[in-house]
Structure 1
């Protein structure tokens, strides 16, 4: 299996930066004093596709957190989440890989006064290296 994490991360960040409004930033590692609202790429988990030697592909799950101030609840991030779902549930251009399958997993919106995270979006991509 060839690890697609870096190439997929670059594709996700580029897709988010291409669509968000000014003032909505994507951080791969949010700074201590990040300006709200923002999107945080909180992780990419890559596993072998489980198809043995027949296929060199992998399955990647991308998690994004939608963050905003505590006094906004979830209303500030839901429109952002809607645009992200449309932009990322697609066949992204991932350098060196073909996106074989893409899927948006169920979104979660919740307001926790102890956390700036107001929404979590997850996406699954099956990727095959381009020969």
Structure 2
């Protein structure tokens, strides 16, 4: 199935550039691996090289920086590791603080970089959950 028809909700709320990146990588992965989870993982891996998750959508990385956003996306799946869940672990603490400020994360001024990363992941999950149609209709 074409990527445009399988676009995740977080990408529906994102820029056309983020959507194009995901769709192109997804469709290429479907040709190589077939439809399914692997095609989706591949598409998100490609997206994470240029974009980061902010709340319930994806934005271009700080300064247009390219590259894997977390150690897991930089190595083969079999080697494991923790996913950054779209938060760019390579970003500066100042950038992470600014994202936390935009998202209204409480206590951010006293947080270390690791704590900011965790708080942003948690806030992103919360906002994504509350933005889904099934959550709004309850």
TM-score by length of 2: 0.28
* RCO higher in structure (CA 8 A, sep ≥6): 1
Instruction: Report the structure, 1 or 2, having the larger helix content.
Output: 2
Higher share in strand: 1
